[in-house]
Structure 1
């Protein structure tokens, strides 16, 4: 597997870590459990860590390769260092006397690297974009949020040369065909999975005790990267409206924002803008920025939450929503991208228009004030999420690998 710009072992909730890291990590683990040998190549961002680690389990390695500066680096600049990355992959494979059967690339940078490796090895390319530059540009609010022309051009090339494209949802499949002129025959809709051994309902009282929250508090939870695309400002405005219309809900209300690093911010960071907005809305006593949390802790936050909110402007899938539902939490999500497919309106949660704090506030209020509704939706959400367990998802990935390798024999 190729995951050039981000490591599957990285702490989640950082600037460049999220659902893709979880996907690569959990798929590699499940494949290795089945006896496959899996190597995940990623760019080294810290010269002090081991070059090779077995952190994904027996038979699955993460290999860190120098490619440009060995520290966090702007994604669009990594492209210029891909030749060094590809040379590193080739050298490692030669040193280990390995012949790979499949190149599974993740994100556009990895797709570009995979093309060069296929030319040397003749192995098929399975590619998953995880996010699409054209879709992000369609919702960008400021020039600095727009993706580069280079990315759009390379994504268009990947659509043409990859042997198979994996789309997370039928929504992404349609976007690939409409925006990138992808051949529908090359696309397989295979959603990401969820680790149901980790993410499952935990009694709320126990969950709150584990994360040191008061037993009677009401929790509206956000989990994700701290960036404009995630729509956290819309959530803050909705919380202010909830409190303004129902002042009695303020007492005991907690809104944890999980993601980023509150102690390490620059003046232009989204965290700064959100803190200022929190102050101006008068909800500083309610909203707390907790920073990133590992997944062994997240399960307790999901299970403790009365509501999990995903107010994103764009999501190709929405891994947080799936994890939350697996834990029995009702989800309120923007009606965009993969969330439109993943969240079943009025059954496993609610979908609301993006950038509509009034609609979001109304749904939050409804769930906060109706315990029976929360319970019913949470139970249905858990049942819905069970279909996304990694074993069944990996069955479909394995079948795709077998289909492609048979063509190359």
Structure 2
């Protein structure tokens, strides 16, 4: 629904009526005259088939809105030439723009200004997903195109590997975000815990609305769990799982360093990684190879699991899932693992610790402490 005073869409959480950000006017009872379909434009760098927590989050929201009769359009990068410039995926129109140059994790899209101007004018609400290089341009275009309302969903402060160039990128992206946030009607954070500790979110706290991300995962199939164990020769093994990219900010090396301690107590221990481990924009896996090779067959890499049912079976196969991240805005994988019956050990990182705090289904350990991490894993096992 739309606020009659400010022509802004009401923003709501999971329950209850929405509120106009400008005047705090509460939305009244549903009115059939106002229940028209909305046209929502989602703007982000990567969309499916690219697989990260950010893309999964946007995909679930966009498809859910489309299923409810609203018009969902995604404006994103054509990061692979194998992808079509435009297609419809599960009711969501996906517009992919050609890319020109890769910069760390990002890419330049030369035609973005023109495409964004056109699409913003065709939609009622603009949903920006940061970090995004074009974020401030999108809010500027939205302001000029009849003051289209903008909601920013912040998926985590940008943290890159060491190096002066990466520090420069972080500085530029922060300034772009601040400029975009000034115009946004609201900024969605994954949790209040993360918002309270985010250098991006603290300056705009009056606009911040903490909303947990959508989590869906199929029920595990016992036969699928057994098949995974057979496939990777894990029958009778004690399995410590990790799900996510093998990148420095997620600190998988800490989990690897617990293996000598844990294997003394659990002779059949295996640490199983599910996710991409050869990453184009950083080479943390290659730096960890000597450590990985020293652990022999105690470490197993499954690669990226795209099938939701196989992922659910992987979670159920694990005796514990470990999330040792140095920085994390939520950690969707731990909520998915818990829904599959698997407890979690997570680092005491703002945002990441939220799920265990709320559910009590696991342990929280100090960041960067290998001994404490190993002891917590042993207690859960």
**TM-score, normalised to structure 1's length?**
0.75
Note if 1:278 corresponds to 2:303. no
User: Deviation per CA, 1:261-312, whole angstroms, max 9, x where unpaired?
Assistant: 55x879x711112221123xx3221112222121422111111110110000
Shift of 1:74: 2.3
Asked whether the 8 Å contact 2:321–2:345 carries over to 1, the reply is yes
Gaps of 5+ in 1: 13-17, 369-409
SS in 1 for 2:123: coil
* 1:209 aligned onto 2:221: no
Preserved CA contact (<8 Å) 1:221 1:307: yes
Equivalent-residue separation in structure 1 for 2:315 and 2:228 (angstroms): 12
Bigger strand share? 2
* Structure with more contact order per residue of length (Cα contacts < 8 Å, sep ≥ 6): 1
Instruction: Find the residue that maps to 1:182 and give its secondary structure.
Output: helix
Q: 1:256 to 1:77 in 2, by over 3 A?
A: closer
Q: CA deviation at 1:239?
A: 1.8
In structure 1, the residue matched to 2:303 is 291
1:63 alignment partner in structure 2: 95
- 1:8 aligned onto 2:48: yes
The more displaced of 107-116 and 357-366 is 107-116
Residue aligning to 1:399? none
Offset at residue 49 of structure 1 (A): 2.2
Quick one: distance in 1 between partners of 2:258 and 2:344? 15
Return the alpha-carbon distance in structure 2 between the equivalents of residues 350 and 63 of structure 1.
42
SS of corresponding position for 1:148 = helix
Structure 2: any 5+ residue segments left out of the alignment?
1-40
Contact 1:259–1:292 at 8 Å: present in 2 too?
yes
CA deviations on 1:223-254 (whole Å, 9 max, x unpaired) are 1111110111100011222124x2xx122x22
- Give the distance between the partners of 2:337 and 2:74, measured in 1 at CA: 27
Indicate the residue corresponding to 1:375 in structure 2: none
Q: Does 1:236 align with 2:256?
A: yes
1:42-93 deviation line (CA, Å, top 9, x unaligned): 01112342111222x12x1111112425xxx225763xx45621212344x4
The partner residue of 1:101 within 82, 107, 124 is 124
- Closer/same/farther in 2, CA of residues 275 and 128 from structure 1, 3 Å limit: same
Kept in 1, the 8 Å contact 2:323–2:346? The answer is yes
Q: Give how far 1:144 is off.
A: 6.6
Whole-angstrom distance in 2 between the partners of 1:76 and 1:359 = 32
* Structure with a larger share of its residues in helix: 1
Is 1:148 matched with 2:170? yes
**Matching residue of 1:37:** 71
Q: Where do residues 77-96 of structure 1 align in structure 2 (5 Å cutoff)?
A: 78=107, 81=108, 84-91=111-118, 93=119
For residues 306 and 77 of structure 1, the distance between their equivalents in structure 2, rounded to whole angstroms, comes to: 36
Which of 122, 127, 131 matches 2:147?
122
Secondary structure, aligned partner of 1:2:
strand
Contact 1:303–1:328 under 8 Å retained in 2: yes
Q: How many residues align?
A: 335
Aligned partners of 1:43 and 1:85 also within 8 Å:
no
Q: Distance in 2 between matches of 1:28 and 1:152?
A: 26
Q: Among residues 12, 24, 35, which one is paired with 2:58 in the alignment?
A: 24
1:74 correspondence with 2:103: yes
Please list, as runs of the form range in 1=range in 2, the aligned pairs for 1:139-288 lying within 5 A after superposition. 146=167, 147-176=169-198, 181-195=202-216, 198-203=217-222, 206-210=224-228, 212-213=231-232, 214-244=234-264, 246=265, 249-251=266-268, 253-262=269-278, 269-279=283-293, 282-288=294-300
**Structure 1: distance between partners of 2:241 and 2:202:** 38
Please tell me whether the aligned partners of residues 242 and 361 of structure 1 are also in contact (alpha carbons under 8 angstroms).
yes
Displacement, 1:165? Answer: 0.2
Q: For 1:123 and 1:85, locate their aligned partners in 2 and report how far apart those are by CA, in whole Å.
A: 18
* Superposed CA RMSD: 2.6
**Normalising to structure 2: TM-score of the pair?**
0.80
Q: Deviations over 1:347-382 (max 9, x none)?
A: 2111111111111111111222xxxxxxxxxxxxxx
What is the deviation of 1:142? 6.1
Q: Given the superposition, is the C-alpha separation of residues 76 and 36 from structure 1 closer, same or farther in structure 2, using an over 3 Å criterion?
A: same
